[in-house]
């Protein structure tokens, strides 16, 4: 049923997940305001704000008339988020924050910078009294798009290996986000939902599924840390991101956990990576 009364700010709206969220909100009739760092393509919604989440003046203007915020924090440091959170606390919208299932709630420090920044953001949002709904997502299937260039030129995907994980289709995460974003304001407050796919996969298994979808014999080639670092830097990735990815590769523990939280929120089981690969095969040719 369309919801014409919700006014929702979607940050990271140009990303793989953000685009899915914006499109679904528009179909549901919600008033959507998209926040993107750069306007490089067609506008994603009825309104589009271009700027940086670390700019408190822009954030303040973007929050005018907004009931709910879907927050994707793009940096590897939570310190620049203090002004953003102050603006959120002043405007007092509902906040739905995209986090990670890799967080260990019992740990004093997380294993790598990517997990740590999400853990820090959750704490900052709660300490500000915002009572966020937290969507802890596992590895998004859309991350595999980063392999497209390699697969257009050969049959080997090489890179740092990662611990196996319950890879989740970003379309399912978007559907879960919509369920939360359009819920009544007295529901789903200050909750954590862990969004996972139906099976735990290694990078080699993901590449094999892509191979099946493309009808090609593909393989994953794990790279030693020093070689992986040098190649990512040569590709133009920022050094802090490269170091964070290397730390995740080396330190992040394997998890065999699978939850049914996707099904609880969207009413159907989470999709498989194999199906995601079939649906997106054209992107790798």
DSSP letters, 261-272, are: HHHHHHSSPPPP
pLDDT of residue 189: 64
User: Which runs of consecutive H residues, i.e. helices, occur in 63-129?
Assistant: 82-91, 113-127
Give the Cα separation of 116 and 120 in Å (integer): 6
Assigned token pair, 163: 């611990």
pLDDT tens by residue, 64-86: 999 999 999 999 999 999 999 99
- Examine the pLDDT at 166 and tell me if it is beyond 50: yes
Instruction: Please state the pTM of the whole predicted model.
Output: 0.93
Assigned token pair, 75: 């940096």
- Examine the pLDDT at 4 and tell me if it is beyond 50: no
Closest-CA residue to 166 (of 202, 197, 135, 208): 197
Per-state percent for the chain, helix, strand, coil, to nearest 5: 45, 15, 40
Give the Cα separation of 7 and 31 in Å (integer): 5
pLDDT tens by residue, 235-271: 999 999 999 999 999 999 988 999 999 999 999 999 9
- Examine the pLDDT at 13 and tell me if it is beyond 50: yes
pLDDT tens by residue, 184-229: 765 566 689 999 999 999 999 999 999 999 999 999 999 999 999 9
pLDDT tens by residue, 171-194: 999 999 999 999 876 556 668 999
Give the Cα separation of 3 and 240 in Å (integer): 41
Beta-bridge partner residues of 21: none
Q: Which domains, ranges and CATH numbers included, belong to the chain?
A: 7-137+170-195+258-268 (3.40.50.720)
Assigned token pair, 20: 């899915």
Burial 205-231 (b: 16+ CB within 10 A, else e): bbbbbbbebbeeebebebbeeeebbee
Task: Compute how many other C-beta atoms are within 10 angstroms of the C-beta atom of residue 279.
Answer: 14
Q: Which residue has the tokens 């995601």?
A: 276
């Amino acid at each position: 049923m369309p919801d014409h009364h919700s006014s929702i700010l979607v940050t990271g709206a140009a990303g793989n997940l953000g685009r899915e969220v914006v499109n679904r909100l528009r179909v549901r009739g919600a008033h959507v305001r998209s926040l993107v760092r750069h306007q490089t393509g067609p506008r994603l919604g009825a309104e589009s704000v271009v700027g940086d989440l670390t700019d408190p003046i822009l954030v303040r203007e973007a929050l005018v008339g907004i009931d709910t915020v879907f927050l994707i924090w793009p940096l590897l440091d939570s310190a620049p988020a203090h002004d953003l959170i102050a603006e959120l606390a002043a405007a007092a919208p509902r906040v739905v924050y995209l986090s990670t299932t890799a967080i260990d709630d019992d740990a004093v420090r997380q294993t790598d910078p990517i997990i740590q920044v999400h853990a820090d953001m959750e704490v900052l949002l709660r300490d500000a009294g915002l009572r966020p709904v937290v969507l802890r997502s596992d590895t998004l299937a859309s991350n595999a798009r980063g392999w497209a260039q390699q697969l257009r030129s050969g049959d080997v995907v090489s890179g740092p290996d990662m611990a196996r994980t319950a890879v989740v289709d970003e379309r399912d995460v978007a559907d879960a986000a919509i369920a939360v974003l359009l819920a009544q304001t007295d529901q789903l407050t200050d909750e954590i939902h862990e969004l996972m796919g139906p099976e735990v996969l290694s990078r080699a298994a993901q590449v094999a599924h892509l191979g099946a979808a493309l009808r090609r014999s593909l393989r994953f080639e794990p790279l030693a840390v020093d070689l992986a670092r040098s190649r990512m830097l040569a590709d133009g990735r920022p050094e802090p991101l490269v170091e964070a990815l290397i730390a995740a590769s080396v330190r992040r523990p394997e998890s065999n956990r699978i939850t049914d939280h996707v099904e609880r929120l969207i009413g159907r089981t989470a999709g498989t990576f194999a199906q995601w690969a079939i649906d997106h095969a054209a992107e790798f040719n």
